[in-house]
Amino acid sequence: MHVLIVGGGVVGLACAHALAGRGAEVTVCEAGTLGGGSTGRAAGGIRTQFSTRVNVELSLASVPVWESFADDFGVDIDYRRSGYLFLARTEETAAAFRENVAMQTEAGAPSRVLSPAEAAEYLPELRTESFVAATFSAADGVADPHSAVQGYADAARAAGVDIRTKTPVTDLARVGDGGSDGGSDGGSDDDSSDDGSADAVATPDAGGWRAETPDGSIDADAVVVAAGAWSGRVASLAGVDLPIAPRRRQIAVVEPEGDLPADAPLTIDLDTGAYFRPEREGTAVVGGHFSETDPDVDPDRFDESMDVEWAVEATERADDAAAYFGPETRIRNGWAGLYAVTPDHHAILDAVEPGLVVAAGFSGHGFQHAPATGEAVADLCLGEDACEVDVSALSLDRFESGETLRERNVA
């Protein structure tokens, strides 16, 4: 079986690696450079503290890969297990935390509910008077997305995957017995980034797919759309409408006024949306989305630089949570990237048409879920059942049936 993957971010490369490992012939088309889209602008978080079972399970299935990545892939991803600390300012949020932890621990995640005083044991300068509860998991941490892309790309090439950069897919059409009703005659300038309702993807009567690129046509038995915030554009070439919105998110690197410990957890003030974590050489990363509006952006033409006014607000909100960030905090630099957001903040992992699989819409969680996603996509493409996570709840038709999920732990 030949599988074409559109998108050369960490999700697409993880899918390529998993498929090649099961004997498939794989081609990856990336319109830009590997990891040059959302993956290269990610914060690098890896956590098990989600509010839905399927997201927790995707994390739990991915963590062992991140743990052994250096040994298995020969690349150090700077995986640091300092934990995640979630903070609640209201009793309503605290009640949700308790429900989440009960579900997480039942699934196998070692999270627990803390009092503000207990949370201060992990973050000594926490402004405990502002909070009513917290949660913490020592299984959570951060890693370097750039290094992960390098490791997956090297391993995929070693397994025989044909990786083509600067190769946008400009059209997708069904061929063979499946007909050609899905394709368009367009020439989209898709710049793919990283970044089931149908059973067997490549059934004998389904035909295959033909992708058009500037370098010619590519025929495949199956196509995987793993183009992150560009996935809606790619799927539309095949006549499929995906509810995935490209949304701009920012990150700032600052020099805190106080001494933020290097082993401090990634801390999320969930009621304000602010988060921060230590970075190298005494710096810290701060982030969060605070605006009441969240418009879609053109993924090819959005502002990739950081807004200084936003960075000031992000730093002030971090200071409102913990007394490391005062008026003497210096903003060094920052950037903006894209979340591929679905209405319920969960990915679409589904064979949306015979031979057409979508792995996109992770709403900021694609990097950390990439290993498990690769196995789930391989199952969908090959008609197998090897992945330990049941991703049926992530089908595209949930948005039409109303059986959507709700991820509340989103920063």
CATH assignment at residue 375: 3.50.50.60
Cβ within 8 Å of residue 338, ≥6 positions away = 37, 38, 41, 193, 228, 229, 246, 247, 248, 249, 297, 299, 302
Domain membership of residue 27 (yes or no) is yes
Q: Which residue range forms the structural domain that includes residue 319?
A: 81-140+246-341
Query: Which three-class secondary structure state does DSSP give residue 141?
Result: strand
| Predicted local confidence at residue 206, as pLDDT | 55
Rounded to 5 degrees, φ, ψ at 107 are -80, -15
Both 240 and 348 in one domain: the answer is yes
Question: Which pTM does this prediction carry?
Answer: 0.92
| Predicted local confidence at residue 93, as pLDDT | 98
| Predicted local confidence at residue 187, as pLDDT | 35
Q: What are the residue ranges of helices labelled H in 171-256? A: 231-237
| Predicted local confidence at residue 201, as pLDDT | 52
Domains identified in the chain, total number:
2
Pick out the chain residues at pLDDT < 70: 177-206
Both 254 and 223 in one domain: the answer is no
Both 309 and 167 in one domain: the answer is no
Both 189 and 319 in one domain: the answer is no
Both 235 and 307 in one domain: the answer is no
Both 151 and 240 in one domain: the answer is yes
| Predicted local confidence at residue 410, as pLDDT | 87
Q: Which of 331, 335, 352, 339 is nearest to 399 (CA)?
A: 352
CATH of the domain at 99: 3.30.9.10
Both 253 and 195 in one domain: the answer is no
Cβ contact 162:22 at 8 Å: no
Domain membership of residue 74 (yes or no) is no
Rounded to 5 degrees, φ, ψ at 380 are -65, -35
| Predicted local confidence at residue 31, as pLDDT | 97
Both 348 and 240 in one domain: the answer is yes
Domain membership of residue 380 (yes or no) is yes
| Predicted local confidence at residue 207, as pLDDT | 74
Domain membership of residue 49 (yes or no) is no
Which domain-ending residue is among 325, 341, 357? 341
Both 239 and 252 in one domain: the answer is no
